[in-house]
Structure 1
Amino acid sequence: MDRADVVDKAFRERVKSGDFPSGDPASGPLTAHDAMAIYRAQCLSRNLDRRSRKMQSEGQGYYTIGSSGHEGMAAVAAALRPDDMAFLHYRDGAFQCMRSAQVPGTTPVWDMLLSFATSTEDPLSGGRHKVLGSKALNIPPQTSTIASHLPKAVGAAYSVGLALRHRPEHQVMQDDSIVMCSFGDASSNHSTAQGAINSACWTAYQSVPLPLLFVCEDNGIGISTRTPKGWVAANYAQKPGLKYFHANGLDLYDTYRVAQEAADYVRKRKKPAFLHVSLVRLYGHAGSDLQQAYLKKDIFETWEADDPLLHSARLLNEAGVLAPEEALAIYQEIEDQCTRVAAEVITRPRLETAEQVMASVIPPERPCATTNGPSEEERAASFAGDLKQHQNPQPMSRLLNWALTDLMLEYPEVVMMGEDVGRKGGVYGVTQKLIDRFGADRMIDTLLDEQSILGLAIGMGHNGFVPMPEIQFLAYLHNAEDQLRGEAATLSFFSNGQFTNPMVLRIAGLGYQKGFGGHFHNDNSLAVLRDIPGIVIACPSRGDDAAMMMRECVRLAREEQRVVVMVEPIALYPTRDLLEDKDGGWMATYPAPDRRIALGEVGVKGQGPLAILTYGNGRYLSTQAAADLAREGIETRVIDMRWLAPLPEDGILAALEGAEKVLVVDECRTTGSQSEALMALLHEKTDVPHARLAAEDSFIATGPAYAATMPSRDSIAKAAKHLWSAS
C-alpha cells in the first residue's frame, strides 16, 4: 500500500478513537480562529499531496515532492504578513495554503492542482513546471537547485532598507516588510546556503539593515542521508549577527508563537534571524523514492506515528477549538474538494508547441517613467574636471566610467555591487570616483563571494532596482554561474513573466593580458553564458561602442526586464594605439549621453569583398590585419558582432551583402565558441565561401606565451590571404 494511504488510514482511525500522540498542552498567543485556519491549511496541504500522487499514478500529474510532515509551516505563514516576500522550500505547500487564506480572492485548491496537472491555466507557470509560488501571495517561484534561492533572499532583504534611501520606481515590498527564506536541514549544508547565511551575518555584523528570516525545516534526513542529531542547532545557534530561534514544528501553537517572536525581532531590529523548525518527513523524498530501500521500517513508522495532523487534532481538541469528529469532518471535506477539483483540472489544456513553452523565456516589457537625463548642472557637479576631457580621445576604461556616471545620474535605481568596485574603483579603474559621486549605498563593496554578489543583484531586482553586479574576472563566474542559469534566467520562464529580476552583469574577461594571471585572469570561453536561454550578451571592442552599448544594456534591463551580461575585454581597457606606438588609433571621444547602440546592431568598417567577422579583441586584431592586407592589395571589411546573444543574424547578413568570402575570427576556444554558430549561420543562410580561425582548445598561460593559443594579427592576415587565394 502507498505510504500516503497508510498515513491517511492511521490518521482517521487514531483521531476517531482519540489515540493521539503525547505532547505539550496548547499555549501561546494563537487564537481559536487562527488555529482553525492553520489546521484547515494543513489538511489542504496533506490532501493536495495525496491527490498529486494519485494523479501521477493515473498519468495525469507530474510532480510528487510533497509537503507531508512539514504542515507546521502553515503556522509560520500565519505569523507573517502577506506582503512579506517568501522564498520557499519545495516542501512548503502548507505555507502557501495558509497564505492563500490570508489573501482574499485566491483559490489555492484550483491553482495548485492546475500546477500538478501542468495546465496552461496554472496561474503561476502557465503549465511549464510544478513550482510553489504566486504573484498574488508575494511568493516568487523556486527551482529545484538546492539552496540556490538563499543568496537572492539576502539581496531582497537588503533592498528593503536601501529602498528607504533610494526609492526605486517599481518597488514591490513595503518599507517594513521582511523577507522569509525556507530550506531543509540537508540544504543548510550546501555551500550556497553557507555562503548566503555568512553574507547575512557579515552584513548584520556591520549594522546594515537586513530584515531576513531564515527558516530551516529540519526533518532529520536529506533523501537518504541522515542529519546528525543536534547538528543544525550546533551549527547556527551561535553565529555572530544571527539570532537563533527553535520551534517544535509538530505543535502549531508553539510554532506560531516562536515564528511570531522571530518575525517581530526581524521586523523591529532589521536584523536576520534563524528559525529552526523540527519536523518529520512522511512518504519518502518524492513519489518515486522508495524509502524502505534505505531505511528500516521502524524509522519511518516512528515518523508516521508523529504525524503533525495528529498533533494538531490533539491540540485543538484539548484547547476546546475542535472536537475529534469535527477535525475529521474538515479533513474529509477538504479531501472531497481536492478529488472533485482534480477531476476537472485534468481536462484543462496543456502546453503543446515550442512557441507556447518559450513564450515566457523573455520577460515582458514594463512601462517606465520617461527621463530627459541629468541636467548640465548635475553632470558638471559629478564629472567635475573630467567634463573638460569629454572631447579628447580616451581608452575604453575611461569611457565606460563616464557612461556609468551618466547612467547612475539618470536612473537612481541603478546600483552597482562587487569586489572592490567602490573605494578601490575596480581592479582596472573602471568604477573609479563613482563611490565619491554616488555614495557607498549605490557602490557596494561586497565580500569575496561571487554567489553572494549575484544573489544580491537578483534579490534587489525583485524589489524594483536595476542592479549592476561586477564579477572581477570571467574565470570567477564559474563559482556562481547557477545564480544566472538556475535563478535569474529562469524566473520569467517559471512565472509566466510575472516575476522578473532585471540586471546588467559586468564581467571583465577574455584574453590577451600581457604576462598577467594566466588562465584565472584570462578566460577565453563564453560557452557557459551562450547556452542560457533568454539572456543578452554584449561584448564591446572600443570605448565609444562600450559606452553606447552599456546604455542599451541598462535600457534592456530597466524597460524590458532582461538579464544582460556585458563581457568587457580586459586587454582593451587601457588600449590606446592601433598600428603604431602612440598613434592613439584605438581611443575615441565620449559619445553624447543620448547615443546608444541598439541590441542586434553590428558594426562594419570598410567595404572590401573579403569580410572578417569577429568581436571583442578579434575586432582590434582584425583591424590591424586589415591594414596589413591592404598593403598587399586585399581590401577587407571588418564586421564587429557586438552582441553575442541573441545572435544578431539579420545584422550580420546585412553586413555581408556583397562580400565574396568570409573569415570568422574567434578569440574563444574552437570547441563551444561563437565561431561554431557563425559557421552554421554562414552555411545555412549564405552561399559565400567561408573559413574560421579560433583559439586552441587550451587554457591560457602566464608569461611570454600569454597569446600563443589565440588568434593574432599575423595569423589573421595569414588565414585571410589563404582564404582569399583559395579557388
Structure 2
Amino acid sequence: MDRAEIVHQNFLTRLATGDFPSGKPATNALSRAEAVGLFRTQCLSRALDRTSRAMQKAGQGFYTIGSSGHEGMAAVAAALRPSDMAFLHYRDAAFQLGRAEQVPGQSALWDMLLSFACSSEDPISGGRHKVLGSRALMIPPQTSTIASHLPKAVGAAYSVGLARRHPPEHQLLPEDAIVACSFGDASANHSTAQGAFNTAGWASYQSSPLPLLFICEDNGIGISTPTPDGWIAASFQSRPGLKYFHGDALDIYDTYSAAQRAADYVRRRRKPAFLHLRTVRLYGHAGADMPTSYMSKSAVEAEEANDPLLHSVRLLTDAGALTPSDALEIYTETLERVARAAAEAVQRPRLATAREVMASIVPPKRSVTPSNGPSAETRAATFGSDISAMDKPQPMSRLINWALNDLMLAHEEIVLCGEDVGRKGGVYGVTQRLQQRFGEDRVIDTLLDEQSILGLAIGMAQNGFIPVPEIQFLAYLHNAEDQLRGEAATLPFFSNGQFTNPMVLRIAGLGYQKGFGGHFHNDNSIAVLRDIPGVIIACPSTGADAAMMLRECVRLAREEQRVVVFLEPIALYPMRDLQTDGDNAWMCSYPSPDESIAFGQIGQHGAGTDLAIVTYGNGHYLSRKAEADLRAKGIDLRIIDLRWLAPLPEEALLAATKGCKNVLIVDECRRTGGQAEALMALFAEAGHSRLARVTAQDSFIATGPAYGATLPDEAQIIAAAEALLL
C-alpha cells in the first residue's frame, strides 16, 4: 500500500480502538459547534487529497501536492476575516475550505475538484493550473510557489495604510484589513523570503504601517531535506520589527488561539507578525514522491502517528463535542461525498486550443473615472518656473520628469518607488523634486532590494494603485526578474483575469554611457523581458516620445490593467546634439499633457524607397546621425523607430517598410537574443528578401574607452547599408 492508504487505514483502526496521540487538553478557545465545523473542514481537505491521487491514477487528475498534515490551517482561516487578503502556501486547501465556510454561496469542494481535473469551468484559473484561489474569498492564486509570493504580500500590506491617505479608485481591501501570507519552513530559507522578512521588519522598525501576518507551516522538511530542529524559532524569535507567535497546528484549539492572538496584534498595531505553526507532512511531497526513499521508515511512521485528524478527534471527544463514532461517520461520509462529486467533475470540459489557453494572458479592460488632468492653476503651483521652460528644447531626462509630474497630478493612485528616487531624485535626476511635490508616501525611497521593489509594486497594484517602480539599472533587474515573470505577468493568466497587478516599471538601461560603469550599468540585453507573455515593452528614443509614450503606458496600466516596462536609454537622457556640437537637434519641447503616442504606433522619419532602417533607442539616434552620409551617397531612405518592442507592432512595421527594396535592422542589443532576431524573422516571413542587420556583439560592455567597442556605431550602419544596396 502507498503511504496515503496507510494513513487512511491507521485513522480507521486507531479511531475504532480509541488509540489517540497524546497532547494538551482542549481549551475554551472554540465552541463545540465551531470545533466540529473545523473538523469537518479538515476531513474535507483530507478527502480531497485522497481523491486527487485517485483521479491521477485514473488519468483524470493532474495535481497531487496535498495538504495532509496541514489541516490545522482551517483554524487559521477561522481566526481571520474573509476580507483579509491571503497569499497561500500550496498546502493550504484547509484554509481555503475554511474561509469558504465564512462566505455564503461558496462551493469550494466542487471548485477544487474542477481545478484537480483542469476543467475550463474551474472558477479561479479556468483550467490553466491547479491553484488555490478565489476572488470571492480574497485569495489571489499562487502556483507551486517557493517564496516568490512573499514580497507582494509585503506590498499589499503596505497598500492598506497608504489607501487610508490616498484611496485608489479600484481599492479592494478595507481599511482595517490585514494581509496573510503562508509558506513552508524550507521556503523560509529562500533569499526571496528573507528579503520579504527584512523589508517588513525594516518598514516596521521605522513605524510604517504594515499589517502583515507571515504564517510559517513548519513540517520539518523541504521535499527531502530536513530543517534543523529549532531553526525556524531561533531565526525568527528575535527579528527586529517582527513579532513572533507560536502555535501547534496539530491542535485546532491551540492553532485558533495563536492565530487569533497574532491577527489581533497585526490588526491593532498595524505591524507585521510571524506565526510559527508546528505541522507534519503526510504522504510525502507529492504523488510520485516516496518518503521512505530518503527518510527512515520509523521516522515516516512517527509523523503518521501524529495525524492531525486523530488529534482533533481526541480533542473533540475530551471537550464533549463529538464521539469517535460520530467522527468516523463524518470522515466516511465526506470521503463518499467527494468521490461522487469527483466522478462528475472529471466529465466537465477542459481547455483544448491555444486560443483558449491564452485568453487570459492579457487582462480585461476596466472602467475608470475620466481625468481631464490638473487645472492650469494646479500645474502652475506645482511646476513653478518650469512652466516657462516647457516650450524650449529640453533633454529627455527633464521631459520624463515633467511627464511624471503631470501624471501624478492627474492620477492620485500613481505611486513611484525605487532606490534613490526620492530625496536624491534618481541617479540621473529624472525624479528630481517629485518627492518634495507629492510627499514621501507617493515617491518612496525603498531599501536596496530589487525583489522588494517589484513586490511592493505588485502588492500595491492588487489594491488599486498604479505603481511606477524604478529599477535603477537594467542589469539590476536580474536580481528580481522572477517577480516580473513568475508573479506580475502570470497573475491574470492563473486567475482568468479576476486578479491583476497593473504597473509601469521604469528601467534605466542600454549602453553607450561613455567610460562609465561597465556591464553593471551599461546592459544591452532585454531578452529576459522579451519572452514574458503579456508584458508590454516600450523604449523611446527622443524626449518628446518619452513623455508621450509614458502617458500611454500609464493609460495601459490604468485602463487595460497591463504590466508595462518603460525602458529608458540612459545615454539619451542628456543628449542634446545630433550632427554637430551645439546644434541641439536631439532636444525637444515638452508635448502638451493631452498628447500621447498610441500603443503600437511606430515613428517614421523620411519616405525614401531605397532603404528602410528599422531601429529603436540609441540605434535610432545613431541611424539619424548616419543619415546625412547615406543621403550624400545617393541613398534615399526612411528611418523607422519601433518605440514598442513587445509585442512587436508587426502590421505597422510591414506597412512602414512597404515599397522599400532593402531593410536594414539596427539593434543595439546582442546578436543572440536581441530584437533583431524577431525582426529578421518577421520580414523574411513577409517576403522581404534583401535584409541585413547591425547588432552588438555577444559580449558584456567594458568600462573606460572601450565602452563602445562591442556596440553598433555610425560607421557600421553606413557600411551595412552600402553593402546591402550593392
Does the alignment reach a TM-score above 0.5?
yes
Deviation at 1:628, TM superposition (A): 1.4
CA–CA distance in 1 between the matches of 2:660 and 2:639?
11
- The residue number in structure 1 matching 2:634 is 633
Superposition map of 1:641-660 within 5 A: 641-660=642-661
The answer to whether residue 41 in structure 2 is matched with residue 10 in structure 1 is: no
Distance 1:398 1:713 in 2: 26
Cα distance in 1, alignment partners of residues 47 and 303 from structure 2: 18
1:426 & 1:98 partners in 2: Cα distance? 46
Contact 2:200 2:272 in 1 (8 A): yes
Counterpart of 1:597?
597
> Which consecutive residues of structure 2, in runs of 5 or more, have no partner in the other structure?
none
Match of 1:720 in 2: 721
* 1:674-718 deviation digits (Å, cap 9, x = unpaired): 100000001001335111111100000001110111110111111
Equivalent residues of 1:603, 1:641 under 8 A apart: yes
Paired amino acid for 1:132: L
1:17-416 matches, within 5 Å, as: 17-416=17-416
Match of 2:676 in 1: 675
Q: Distance in 2 between matches of 1:494 and 1:580?
A: 53
Residues 101-154 of structure 1, C-alpha deviation per residue, up to 9 Å, x if partnerless?
Answer: 111100011000000000000000000000111111100001224100000000
Q: Which SS does the other structure have where 1:141 is aligned?
A: strand
Q: Does 1:583 align with 2:587?
A: no
Deviations along 1:526-581, one digit per CA (max 9) or x if unpaired, are 00000000000000000000000000000000000000001100000000000000
Report if the CA contact (8 A) 2:541-2:620 is conserved: yes
Output the CA distance in 2 between the equivalents of 1:153 and 1:656.
Answer: 47
Contact 1:145/1:486 (8 A) holds in 2: no
Query: 1:214: how far off?
Result: 0.1
Partner residue of 1:665?
666
Q: Secondary structure at the match of 1:504?
A: strand
Q: Distance in 1 between matches of 2:173 and 2:185?
A: 28
SS at match of 2:693: strand
Q: 1 CA distance for matches of 2:388 and 2:687?
A: 48
Q: CA deviation at 1:202?
A: 0.1
The residue identity in structure 1 corresponding to 2:326 is E
Q: Cα distance, 1:38 vs. partner?
A: 1.0
Letter of the structure 2 residue corresponding to residue 181 of structure 1: C
Contact 1:143 1:487 in 2 (8 A): no
Shift of 1:16: 1.9
CA shift, 1:29, in A, is: 2.2
- Equivalent pair of 1:161/1:210 in contact (CA under 8 Å): yes
Corresponding residue for 1:711?
712
1:484 aligns with 2:478: no
Identity %: 69
Confirm or deny: 8 A CA contact 2:89 2:145 kept in the other structure: no
Deviation at 1:278, TM superposition (A): 0.4
4+ residue runs over 2 A deviation = none
Give the Cα–Cα distance (whole angstroms) in 2 for the partners of residues 23 and 140 of structure 1: 35
CA distance in 2 between counterparts of 1:321 and 1:61 reads: 36
Question: Following the alignment from structure 2 to structure 1, what is the Cα–Cα distance between the partners of residues 72 and 362?
Answer: 37
Distance 1:33 1:209 in 2: 36
Please tell me whether the aligned partners of residues 504 and 553 of structure 1 are also in contact (alpha carbons under 8 angstroms). yes
**Alpha-carbon offset, residue 334 of structure 1:** 1.0
Structure 1 contact 83–177 (Cα < 8 Å) conserved: yes
CA offset digits 1:455-497 (Å, max 9, x no partner): 0000001100000000000000000000001000000000001
Q: Where do 5+ consecutive residues of structure 1 fail to align? A: none
Is contact 1:88–1:183 with CA below 8 Å preserved after alignment?
yes
When normalised by structure 2's length, the TM-score is 0.99
AA partner of residue 282 (structure 2): L
Aligned residues: 725
- Cα deviation, residue 316, structure 1: 0.5
Separation in 2 of the partners of 1:12 and 1:139?
A: 33
CA distance in 2, matches of 1:348, 1:300: 37
Q: Corresponding residue for 2:556?
A: 556
Does the CA-based 8 Å contact 1:460-1:467 persist in structure 2? yes
**For 1:314 and 1:239, how far apart are their aligned partners in 2?**
36
1:374 is displaced (CA, Å) by 0.7
CA-to-aligned-CA distance 1:368-409 (integer Å, 9 cap, x gap): 011111111111111111011010000100000000000000
Distance 2:527 2:139 in 1: 32
The answer (yes or no) to whether the contact 1:659–1:688 under 8 Å persists in 2 is no
Q: Deviations over 1:506-533 (max 9, x none)?
A: 0000000000000000000000000000
Quick check: 2:129–2:143 contact (8 Å CA) kept in 1?
A: no
Give the 3-state SS of the residue equivalent to 2:133 in structure 1.
coil
* Amino acid aligned to 2:94: A
| Larger CA deviation: 407-416 vs 324-333 | 324-333
Contact between 2:45 and 2:67, CA under 8 Å: does it hold in 1? Answer: yes
In structure 1, distance between residues paired with 2:169 and 2:16: 56
Give the equivalent residue in structure 2 for 1:684.
685
Structure 1 residue 13 displacement after superposition: 1.6
The amino acid across from 1:432 in the alignment is Q
Structure 2 distance, partners of 1:606, 1:53, is 64
The two structures, once aligned, show a CA RMSD in angstroms of 0.7
Letter aligned with residue 719 of structure 1: A
The structural deviation recorded for 1:14 is 1.0
Give matches, 1:398-437, under 5 Å.
Answer: 398-437=398-437
SS, match of residue 416 in structure 2: strand
Shift of 1:28: 3.9
TM-score by length of 1: 0.99
Letter in 2 for 1:172: L
Distance in 2 of aligned mates of 1:680 and 1:647: 12
Q: Map 1:691-706 onto structure 2 (within 5 A).
A: 691-706=692-707
CA–CA separation in structure 1 for the residues paired with 2:661 and 2:456: 49
One-letter amino acid of the counterpart of residue 637, structure 1: R
Contact 1:536 1:565 in 2 (8 A): yes
Task: Give the counterpart letter for 1:548 in structure 2.
Answer: M
